[in-house]
Amino acid sequence: MAFVAQRSAPLALYIFTDKHSERDAWLNKSLSGGACVNETSFHVVADSMPFGGVGESGMGAYHGKAGFDTFSHLKSVFYQPKLNGAFLFNPPVRRYQHTVGKILRKFI
């Protein structure tokens, strides 16, 4: 934590732990644009969550509520449960992954 605190705020912070106390310490005591817990890539594609940096890692919107939110810096945190279907989309893509993808596209 000291190593991260000595540098400019990162665009994203990736925390891998099952300990709630360790997770909460990182989320509450560090500054970053956003954070992921037990995940790295879904943070960017979760379009309902704000994505952006603080300080040198980026800039946000301004005017009205967007400006208030930017200067208040609402930190987005993505939690990945241990049991999840993300493995279905990891390479190498196999035949069953194509089949699952076709099924899911019918519902999306």
pTM over 0.85: no
Range of the domain at 20: 2-82
Each residue's pLDDT tens digit, 56-85: 767 665 556 666 776 777 788 888 887 777
107 falls within a domain:
no
Q: Is residue 32 part of a domain?
A: yes
Distances (CA, A) of 107 to 77, 98, 100, 101: 26, 15, 11, 10
Could you give the number of structural domains in the chain?
A: 1
In a domain, 31, yes or no: yes
Report residues of the chain scoring pLDDT below 70.
Answer: 47-48, 57, 59-67, 70, 88, 108
